């Protein structure tokens, strides 16, 4: 707005500007129809107050000041007859003001362009800051979730380590349940074994699973997995029903073909152990 500073005093210090320095005294002059004719009154004292405002209510740019100064003269010319002094004074000042404005306009356009570029840069910087903040939040949340998963897994391992010994009959039922899994789910079950027993080759063409050789935590993990998987109803065994026997067999054969290998689960008989309270 600095480029406009030299224009404003030139207009307000003119002898012709006296009638426009303060708001129109509508009551004192008994201008009963003034507000019917003039929608937005304006004067130089009001403009000065807005130019000096520090609370965000002031002018945003020079064009807003130009618009209000022009409004002062237009209001005077609208309300007063063209033969009246106020109309003539307003018309003279408006012509002088428009001449100054035309001279100033290139600099105003330059300032507008610069302001738009600064605002665009500010918006871009704000966008980058927001993206960085969102990325940090996502990283922090991911770390928290990973830590929660780790604690849950530790708790799960602790529970499994303290489970009772699985009985021979329970191992037999677990082995039988494994045979009800689809090839895909059976592969997942075997991966559970390989996680605690690196020597176990879950991807071999033929797999021998000795139930007695597995740790108690591995057995209970298998039991939990089999229980959850069979409850989903997505295994061949859950398709059940006399009318669906052929379909189940066909699906099983198809899955076996896709799997491209056979898995043999061998269950070893073990001596009956004293049972404790089950953990599941």
The CA distances from residue 119 to 111, 113, 134, 256, in Å, are 12, 10, 22, 64
CATH class of 168-259: mainly alpha
Per-residue confidence (pLDDT) for residue 247, from 0 to 100:
52
Q: Which residue has the higher pLDDT, 34 or 184?
A: 34
Task: Specify the range with the lowest mean pLDDT, choosing from 45-54, 156-165, 263-272.
Answer: 263-272
pLDDT average, residue stretch 38-52 = 93
Within 10 Å of residue 180's Cβ, how many Cβ atoms?
15
Per-residue confidence (pLDDT) for residue 84, from 0 to 100:
95
Task: Please name the CATH architecture into which domain 2-123 falls.
Answer: Up-down Bundle (1.20)
Within 10 Å of residue 65's Cβ, how many Cβ atoms?
19
Per-residue confidence (pLDDT) for residue 211, from 0 to 100:
82
Which residues does 251 contact at the CB level (< 8 Å), separation at least 6? 236, 239
Is 0.85 surpassed by the pTM of this model? Answer: no
Per-residue confidence (pLDDT) for residue 18, from 0 to 100:
93
Q: Which residue has the higher pLDDT, 243 or 185?
A: 185
HSE on the CB side for 216, CA within 13 Å? 17
Which residues does 122 contact at the CB level (< 8 Å), separation at least 6? none
- CA 82 – CA 65 distance, rounded (Å): 25
- CA 199 – CA 194 distance, rounded (Å): 7
State percent of the chain over pLDDT 90.
25
pLDDT digits (tens, 9 = 90+) for 56-114: 788 988 889 999 999 999 999 999 999 999 999 999 999 999 998 898 888 887 877 88
Domain map (residue ranges) of the chain: 2-123, 168-259
Task: Specify the range with the lowest mean pLDDT, choosing from 38-42, 64-68, 145-149, 199-203.
Answer: 199-203
Within 10 Å of residue 86's Cβ, how many Cβ atoms?
17
Q: Which residue has the higher pLDDT, 212 or 48?
A: 48
Per-residue confidence (pLDDT) for residue 33, from 0 to 100:
95
Terminal CA-to-CA distance of the chain, rounded, Å?
77
pLDDT average, residue stretch 14-35 = 94
Q: Are 79 and 72 in contact (CB under 8 A)?
A: no
Residue 268 clears pLDDT 80, i.e. is over it: no
262 confidence band (pLDDT: 50, 70, 90): very low
Average of per-residue pLDDT values in the chain: 78
Residue 226 clears pLDDT 50, i.e. is over it: yes
């Amino acid at each position: 707005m600095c480029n406009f500073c030299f224009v404003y005093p030139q207009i307000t210090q003119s002898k012709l500007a006296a009638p426009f320095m303060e708001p129109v005294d509508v009551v004192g002059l008994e201008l009963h129809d003034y507000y019917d004719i003039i929608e937005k009154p304006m004067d130089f004292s009001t403009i000065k107050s807005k130019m000096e405002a520090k609370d965000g209510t002031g002018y945003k740019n020079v064009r807003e000041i130009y618009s209000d100064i022009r409004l002062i003269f237009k209001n005077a010319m609208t309300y007063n007859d063209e033969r009246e002094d106020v109309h003539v004074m307003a018309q003279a000042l408006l012509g002088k003001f428009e001449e100054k404005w035309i001279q100033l306009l290139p600099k105003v356009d330059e300032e507008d362009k610069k302001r738009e570029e600064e605002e665009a840069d500010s918006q871009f910087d704000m966008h980058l800051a927001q993206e960085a903040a969102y990325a940090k939040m996502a990283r922090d949340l991911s770390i928290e979730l990973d830590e929660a998963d780790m604690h849950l897994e530790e708790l799960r391992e602790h529970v499994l380590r303290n489970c009772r010994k699985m009985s021979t009959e329970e191992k037999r039922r677990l082995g039988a349940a494994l045979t009800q899994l689809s090839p895909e789910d059976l592969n997942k079950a075997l991966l559970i074994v390989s996680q605690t027993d690196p020597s176990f080759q879950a991807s071999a063409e033929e797999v021998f699973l000795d139930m007695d050789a597995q740790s108690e935590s591995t057995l209970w993990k298998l039991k939990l997995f089999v229980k959850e998987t069979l409850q989903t109803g997505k295994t061949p065994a859950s398709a059940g029903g006399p009318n669906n026997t052929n379909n189940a067999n066909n699906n099983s054969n198809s899955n076996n073909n896709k799997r491209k290998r056979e898995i043999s689960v061998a269950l070893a008989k073990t001596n009956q152990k004293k049972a404790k309270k089950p953990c599941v």
